[in-house]
Amino acid sequence: MFDYETRRKSLFERMGELGVDLVFLPPSGDLEYLTGFKRRAPAFGNIEYAHSWVTGCFLAPGHEPTFVLPRMVVAFDTPDGLTGDVTVVAETDDGREIFRRVTKSFGSVGKLAIGARTWGDTVTALLGMLGSCELVSADRLVNPMRRVKSPEELEAMTKACRIVDETLAVVSPSVRAGTTELELARDVDFHMRTLGSPTPSFDTGVFSMGAASERDATVRLSAGELVAGMGVSFDFGAVVDGYCSDFGRTVHVGTPSAEYERVYEVVMAAQAAGIAAVRPGVPASRVHAETRRVIVDAGLGEWFRHRTGHCIGLDVHERPFISEEDHTPLEAGMTFTVEPSVFRPGHYGVRVEDVVVCEPSGGRKLNEYPVTLVANG
């Protein structure tokens, strides 16, 4: 489905421009982007085997992707059809010697780029084996390539957005007094899997805020029952072919007050203003500024406490960020979230989040779920 060979050719060109001789990537979005080596679903703690520190792939011009993998990874986590050379490290092997042999096979290395999530043991081994080489981050090479999505990538991300849209359509009617956040989160995860997502793209959040509680958005999930007068915010995402969605809406329990309705409309208007600012060449920070301006002008700026969004693709959070400090110019094909909120403990909580693609004519949502206020029972 994805043209990994062409992607690697682009990587090698960038390596030449930046004087990088060799790249090492552990299992990550970068490695999946360049080779199709799929990552396992995220886990709370480490999933580790004997010699796990060797796990990864070397990339260099003139070479096929060169993987070094523990036997257990080969047996259970290696996708079919993987292209390249694979060196297997069994439990009783001398992992350090095997890794040294593969590393030295690339000859003299003056500059080595490593993935941001490379094990510390791997980094120290590489430096010891390659001598006085310069170490740089591979993010400088790969992130600019990953920012602009191809039609095939946009198709996968659109499907991931459809899954979350359809999931909330099923779950939303259950947002009523007496239901628990745990039950809603369970149903969200179940329906995403039913619709084809192999895993949530991050931990599913369902959190209620309003006058009945001092609850803040820092607590993403609780076992307590919903009560009337609360806004229930959703934050969840799906995965299709490795590509993520990230989505949010707020559903009110019972009849909302006039003040709640006002705040809700302000947040929706803020998102619309942010999306309206999207154009190729516009700094990411300006999208944030236009989004925030609406909330500040409404007297609610103190309670919009996070950035407007972040780029998204094979990882849920990618650079650049849609934030005040990030002045990266947008490019056609970039995908990112626009997710303003107003979270005021003891008063109200409202959020909205959609994935937006930058196109020559402006920003376009990949999600289709409506932003009209829903109030149940």
Q: Which domains does the chain have, with CATH numbers?
A: 4-146 (3.40.350.10), 148-376 (3.90.230.10)
Give the model's pLDDT for residue 53.
96
Give the model's pLDDT for residue 158.
98
**Selection from 25, 2, 29, 26 nearest residue 315 by Cα:** 29
Dihedral (Cα; 73, 76, 82, 88), 10-degree rounding: 40
Rg of the chain over all Cα atoms, to the nearest angstrom = 23
**Selection from 158, 159, 191 nearest residue 172 by Cα:** 191
| Per-residue pLDDT tens listing for the chain (377 residues) | 799 999 999 999 999 999 999 999 999 999 999 999 999 887 888 888 999 999 999 999 999 999 999 999 999 888 777 889 999 999 999 999 999 999 999 999 999 999 999 999 999 999 999 988 999 999 999 999 999 999 999 999 999 999 999 999 999 999 999 999 999 999 999 999 999 999 999 999 999 999 999 999 999 999 989 999 999 999 999 999 999 999 999 999 999 999 999 999 999 999 999 999 999 999 999 999 999 999 999 999 999 999 999 999 999 999 999 999 999 999 999 999 999 999 999 999 999 999 999 999 999 999 999 999 999 97
CA distance to 101, 182, 209, 231, 292, per residue, from 350 (Å): 56, 19, 8, 7, 14
Quick one: 374 exposed, middle or buried, by C-beta within 10 A (0-12, 13-18, 19+)?
Answer: middle
Q: Are 14 and 145 in contact (CB under 8 A)?
A: yes
Q: Are 123 and 87 in contact (CB under 8 A)?
A: no
Give the model's pLDDT for residue 41.
84
What is the C-alpha to C-alpha distance for residues 190 and 14, in angstroms, rounded to an integer? Answer: 42
**Selection from 208, 215, 213 nearest residue 253 by Cα:** 208
Dihedral (Cα; 295, 298, 304, 307), 10-degree rounding: 20
